[in-house]
Amino acid sequence: MPAERQAESQGIVTATLPAQTFHVPPTVVEVLGEDERHALREEIKALLVRENAVLVAHYYTDPELQALADETGGHVSDSLDMARFGHEHPASTLVVAGVRFMGETAKILNPEKRVLMPDLKAECSLDLGCPADAFTAFCDQHPDRTVVVYANTSAAVKARADWMVTSGSALDVVRHLKAEGRKILWAPDKYLGHYIQEQTGADMLLWNAACIVHEEFKGRELAELRARHPEAKVLVHPESPPSVIAQADFVGSTSGIIKAVKTLSAREFIVATDKGIFYKIRQAAPDKVLIEAPTAGDSATCRSCGHCPWMAMNGLRKLAAALREGSNEIHVAPEIGRRAVVPITRLLDFSAGQHTVIYGNNDA
* The amino acid at 155: A
Residue list 52-111, contact with ligand 13P (CB under 6 A):
78-80
Residues 40, 43, 45, 47, Cα dihedral to 10°: -130
Do the beta carbons of residue 362 and residue 78 sit within 8 Å? Answer: no
152 contributes a contact to ligand 13P by CB under 6 A: yes
Among 185, 311, 344, 347, binds ligand SF4 (CB under 6 A): 311
Which residues partner with 103 through β-bridges? none
Secondary structure in 3-state letters for 115-183: EECCCCCCCCHHHHCCCHHHHHHHHHCCCCCEEEEECCCCHHHHHCCCEEECCCCHHHHHHHHHHCCCC
Phi, psi dihedral angles at 53 (to 5 degrees): -120, 155
C-beta of 167 vs 208, nearer to ligand 13P: 167
Least distance CB 323 / ligand 13P (angstroms): 24
Q: Mask of contacts with ligand SF4, 210-249, x by CB under 6 A?
A: -xxx-------------------------x----------
Distance (Å, rounded) from C-alpha 108 to C-alpha 158?
10
Residue list 82-121, contact with ligand SF4 (CB under 6 A):
99
Among 200, 253, 295, 361, binds ligand 13P (CB under 6 A): 253
Residues 226, 249, 296, 197, Cα dihedral to 10°: 150
Which helix (H) or strand (E) covers residue 44, if one does? helix 34-50
Which residues partner with 236 through β-bridges? 251, 272
Among 124, 192, 234, 340, binds ligand SF4 (CB under 6 A): 124
Per-state percent for the chain, helix, strand, coil, to nearest 5: 45, 15, 40
274 contributes a contact to ligand SF4 by CB under 6 A: yes
125 binds, among ligand SF4, ligand 13P, none (CB under 5 to 8 A by kind): ligand SF4
Least distance CB 166 / ligand 13P (angstroms): 4
Q: What angle do CA 219, 99, 170 make, to 5 degrees?
A: 55
Least distance CB 60 / ligand 13P (angstroms): 7
Distance (Å, rounded) from C-alpha 190 to C-alpha 198?
12
310 binds, among ligand SF4, ligand 13P, none (CB under 5 to 8 A by kind): ligand SF4
Do the beta carbons of residue 285 and residue 262 sit within 8 Å? Answer: yes
C-beta of 48 vs 128, nearer to ligand SF4: 128
Least distance CB 205 / ligand 13P (angstroms): 22
Least distance CB 211 / ligand SF4 (angstroms): 3
Least distance CB 227 / ligand SF4 (angstroms): 27
Do the beta carbons of residue 140 and residue 165 sit within 8 Å? Answer: no
126 contributes a contact to ligand SF4 by CB under 6 A: yes
Neighbours of 57 (CB within 10 A): 30
Residue list 175-194, contact with ligand SF4 (CB under 6 A):
none
Cβ neighbours for 64, distance < 8 A, ≥ 6 positions apart: 30, 37, 41, 315, 316
Span near ligand SF4 by CB under 6 A; candidates 133-141, 168-176, 248-256, 307-315: 307-315
Least distance CB 211 / ligand 13P (angstroms): 5
308 contributes a contact to ligand SF4 by CB under 6 A: yes
Residue list 157-196, contact with ligand 13P (CB under 6 A):
166-168
247 contributes a contact to ligand 13P by CB under 6 A: no
Phi, psi dihedral angles at 91 (to 5 degrees): -55, 150
Least distance CB 6 / ligand SF4 (angstroms): 30
Residue list 22-41, contact with ligand 13P (CB under 6 A):
none
Residues interacting with ligand SF4, by CB under 6 A?
99, 124-126, 152, 211-213, 239, 274, 308, 310-311
Residues interacting with ligand 13P, by CB under 6 A?
78-80, 152, 166-168, 211, 239, 253-254
